[in-house]
Structure 1
């Protein structure tokens, strides 16, 4: 691999994760280590369940198998949002884009995700929405 591409993939602050057709981790960069708390040595070879909250796994795998079988996804462009789970069990709010990975014949081989931790922004937005709802409730009570 070209040295610059290797630097880009390994040193990017965003998590870059590649999973094979079966959902096994095949690449885990430094950003993923920092975001999720698992070293590359701990993550590579493991299932993506490593970062998927238990209550969301069934839905995740239904979608994953559908995409691997069909080669199609409605998420070709734009950002997806989902919670993830860190090694210590804490949750992280994620935004990510996906890339479908195919062999030379076009058969699905897996996918890659580029993930960003948006937990801080999500928490701020949630607090603002709660404050707005409280203000609207008070205003509605005063104007009655």
Structure 2
């Protein structure tokens, strides 16, 4: 038995944020999970630049990559999970993990990009704490190598 899937219902129902932007980086789709994650309602986000979720210090690098992807139709992130900082409406910085998919028009030109995003802050903080602890333990276990490195 084949089940028909209503794409609009699926995008609304998933727990991850789904954000779609056009070739210029204007938001064209913003689901409920994106509202919860970033603090902007759909009405506030639609038509706005992706800058509303990108920390200012990372915007230039983001737009260089975005423009290159839109121009070439190629992204190296098609199947790779990306982990980057993000910012919400209140200015809170947090970590996100996401995948992207290029969208194409009927004439096969890139028409935008879709991202499925998850708040990754807890994992990021846990990983950072573990790396710090490992470094501390290595320093305690081998203090001679630490002093040799410092000299």
Task: Pick the TM interval, shorter chain.
Answer: over 0.9
**Cα-to-partner distance string for 1:81-100 (whole Å, 9 max, x where unaligned):** 11111111111211111110
Give 1:113's aligned residue: 115
Structure 1 residue 5: deviation in Å? 2.3
Pick one of 24, 27, 34 that aligns with 1:25: 27
Q: Give unpaired runs (5+ residues) of structure 1.
A: none
Provide the C-alpha distance between the structure 1 equivalents of 2:138 and 2:5, rounded to a whole number of angstroms: 55
Q: SS of the residue aligned with 1:114?
A: strand
Superposition RMSD on alpha carbons, in Å? 1.7
Q: Which runs of 4+ in 1 moved over 4 A?
A: none
**Whole-angstrom distance in 1 between the partners of 2:70 and 2:95:** 25
Corresponding position of 2:88: 86
Q: Distance in 1 between matches of 2:38 and 2:89?
A: 6
1:102 to 101, 104, 111: 104
Normalising by structure 1, we get a TM-score of: 0.93
1:3-82 equivalences under 5 Å are 4-82=6-84
